[in-house]
Amino acid sequence: MLKKLNEYCIRSENGSIEGMTLPIYKPKNISSFDVIRILRKISAFKKVGHAGTLDPFAEGLLIVAFGRKETRRLDYWRSLPKVYEATGRLGIVTDTQDLTGEILSQNESGTIQKQNIETVFDKFRGKILQTPPMFSAKKINGQRLYRLARKGQEIERKANPIEIYDLELIGFANPCFKIRVKCSAGTYIRTLIHDIGQAMGIGATAWELWRTQIGNWNMNEAFTLEEFRREWTLSAI
């Protein structure tokens, strides 16, 4: 149930809006920073930030904070468990680990059965180590990995501890499979799909990705950019 924007607003004694934290829906094919840029322009807030980047090809929930006090709390929201749904494409490996990248290898997946995938899932539940992809916003030695990757450079990355609280196969139509994942902060879902493909000996890449939940925040509660624009016009009066 979508709340009114006013319910998220923190107002000063004179009634002006000092800040707010609320769920925003990020559509496909724009970056998380594009969303922040649009919201900053609509609201005229100088301090606007989000709690966890979504890749441009992905869609779903962003938690967005406005104002100095609220943006200081973003680290807390970033630390919360997250829930995703994603579609993986068997038999294809790309340099970005998703459909936007260049194909590195391609294999037939005709013999793969549902039970083959579910058996492999056992290796990825619980506490595991995951190596961040080169095409990511993660910084190493002050440099964004994706900037190095675009120059054709690859550097050694340390595997990070993450936790997969739940991993469920919710759809399979060869060569595609769909999963629902509840995981700790810092988990790369396209890397999880890539690693599942590697464990199966056939490769896989992320085809679609939705973030549906962060902590208790749900995608069904999120404002689209147009809904935010309309509500902000009414709330800021």
For residue 66, what are its two tokens?
């406005």
Q: Catalytic residue among 55, 95, 98, 195, which?
A: 55
What gap in Å lies between CA 227 and CA 25, rounded to an integer?
Answer: 10
Please state the length of the chain. 237
Beta-strand ranges (E) seen in the chain are 9-11, 17-26, 48-50, 59-66, 82-90, 92-94, 103-106, 126-130, 139-140, 143-144, 160-173, 176-183, 204-214, 217-218
Is the torsion defined by CA of 23, 24, 28, 34 positive or negative?
Answer: negative
75 is a catalytic site residue: no
Residue 197 and residue 177 in contact, taking contact as beta carbons nearer than 8 Å = no
What gap in Å lies between CA 97 and CA 195, rounded to an integer?
Answer: 10
CB atoms within 10 A of CB 29: 10
For residue 205, what are its two tokens?
């890449």
Helix, strand, or coil (residue 10): strand
Residue 69 backbone phi and psi in degrees, to 5: -65, -40
In a 13 Å sphere around the CA of 58, the CA atoms on its Cβ side amount to 23
Active-site residue numbers?
Answer: 55
